[in-house]
Amino acid sequence: MLALHPWPEYPEAWRTGGVGVRWCATRLGFQPRLAGLKHLNRLEQVLARVEWDDPAVGEGLMLDLDGNVVSGTQSNLFVLHRGTLLTPPVDRCGVAGVARAVALETARACGITVREARLSREDVTAAAALFLTSSLIGLWPVRELDGAPRDPRAVPAALAARIVASVFEP
C-alpha cells in the first residue's frame, strides 16, 4: 500500500525555540514481538494524541504499563543528564525510529556518552535538557513540560544541528 500526503506543517518556532510537551494518560502496552517496529497498530498513540487540543502543546509523552517513559505520541525522547544522553529502550514497546538511530550515532560521533535506560517521570523532569526526534519533525527541543518551563538552549546546538542535517539531508 502506498499513500502520499503533504509534509506536515509544524510551527517553525518548535524547531528553533522548542515545543510544549505534556504527559499523556494513555499508556503503551507491552508487545515484545512488535517492539521497536513501525507498524500500523498505533491505536494507543492515536488515543493519546486526542487527549489535548491546545495548539501550544505539540507533543505528549507516553508511559508504559509499569510507569516508565517510552516516547512521544509521534517521536522518540532524549534526555541529557550529567553529560550522558539517555533514551528509553524499545524492547517492550515503542518504535526504534530512523531519526532515533541517527541521534544516537551522531551523539556518539560528537563524543557524548549514550545509553538506553528505563526512565521515570522524575528522571525526565530532573534532566538538564530534553529533545524529541522523528523523521517528520527532525529535532524539537522541549521548552515546556506540563506547564513547567524548560530551557531549550540546554540541548547542545552543534549536536542538534548535526542530527537535523543527518535526518533531512542525504
What are the backbone dihedrals phi and psi of residue 159, each rounded to the nearest 5 degrees, phi first? -65, -50
- What's the confidence (pLDDT) of residue 5? 87
Separation between Cα atoms, residue 46 and residue 51, nearest integer Å = 9
Percent of the chain exceeding pLDDT 70 equals: 94
Separation between Cα atoms, residue 133 and residue 18, nearest integer Å = 12
Helix (H, G, I), strand (E, B) or coil at 58: strand
Separation between Cα atoms, residue 3 and residue 72, nearest integer Å = 23
Which CATH fold topology does 15-168 show?
D-amino Acid Aminotransferase; Chain A, domain 2 (3.20.10)
- What's the confidence (pLDDT) of residue 40? 63
pLDDT (average), residues 31-46: 71
Judged against a pLDDT cut of 60, whether residue 37 lies above it is answered with no
Residue 95 CA to chain centroid, in angstroms?
10
Reported as a pLDDT band with limits 50, 70 and 90, residue 33 is low
**Segment among 37-46, 54-63, 98-107 with least mean pLDDT:** 37-46
Cell of 30: 507491552
